[in-house]
A and B are shown apart, each in its own frame.
Chain A
Amino acid sequence: SQTIHQWPATLVQPVGSPLSLECTVEGTSNPNLYWYRQAAGRGLQLLFYSVGIGQISSEVPQNLSASRPQDRQFILSSKKLLLSDSGFYLCAWSVSGQGVSGANVLTFGAGSRLTVL
């Protein structure tokens, strides 16, 4: 069966410090990977998605970046955190290669709660 892991679960960082959140998926190959952010405990916003190694698409301009160094590894980073980067970050994966990708069910990780002080 497939599993998705995210870490760290919680993180408190000062403004201006770097960030690295990691997400890995097990039990599948070549998944689509996603980073979502949930601010103030509410609606989710898609930040990045990836359909393959080294292929990253950004949905919104921001202080963050993403990388996919391995097939099942997705990393969210920042060189200098801002207060507005605080939030709950969720990684998700879906099966790729289906004829109609909009049907893909996203499976989410447990999330990483980031507080920037």
Chain B
Amino acid sequence: AQKVTQAQTEISVVEKEDVTLDCVYETRDTTYYLFWYKQPPSGELVFLIRRNSFDEQNEISGRYSWNFQKSTSSFNFTITASQVVDSAVYFCALSEADGGTSYGKLTFGQGTILTVHP
């Protein structure tokens, strides 16, 4: 069975600090997809990134970067120079690509509450 673990329940930083959110996953599949979603106080989940298991290149998007390491089954998310607007709950999720029968179902981690103080 799939499992996603976000060991950090809550993180508190001061604006402009860098912060890394950890994500560790378990799956038996060789082909799978990893996601990060952001849940601001409004409650709606916002898609941030999707990576497939064959692409281990790190990705950078503005202040956001992601480090995918298959050897350690980790997909960590770093926010550089954090801002107050980054305050939210961040979820890591896993989807298996089992020949098209997974129907896009996601297994989510428990989420990390990030609070950025001014």
Interface centre among B37, B43, B104 (most CB of A within 10 A): B104
Query: Interface majority SS on B: helix, strand, loop or mixed?
Result: loop
Chain B residues within an 8 Å CB radius of A108: 37, 44-46
Chain B nearest Cβ from A29, distance in angstroms: 16
Is B44's CB under 8 angstroms from A101's CB?
no
- Proximity bits, B34-68, A CB within 8 Å = 1, else 0: 01010000111111001010000000000000000
Q: Mark B1-44, 1 if CB is under 8 A from A, else 0.
A: 00000000000000000000000000000011101010000111
- For A100, the chain B residues whose CB sits under 8 A away are 31, 97, 100
Interface membership of A76, Cβ < 8 A: no
A44 to B35 CA separation, bound complex (whole angstroms) = 14
Contacts A43-B111, A44-B108, A110-B42 given: A101-B47 contact, CB under 8 Å? no
Q: In the assembled complex, which residues on chain A have CB atoms less than 8 Å from the CB atom of B45? A: 44, 90, 92, 106, 108
Q: How far is the CB of B88 from chain A (nearest CB, A)?
A: 12
- Residues of chain A contacted by B100 (CB below 8 angstroms): 98-101
Q: Once the chains are docked, how many angstroms separate the CA of A98 from the CA of B50?
A: 15
Q: Are B43 and A88 in contact (CB under 8 A)?
A: yes
Q: Is A102 within 8 A of B95, CB to CB?
A: yes
Bound-state CA distance A36–B102 (Å) is 16
Instruction: Return the 5 tightest CB-CB contacts between A and B, nearest first.
Output: A102-B97, A104-B104, A43-B110, A108-B45, A102-B95
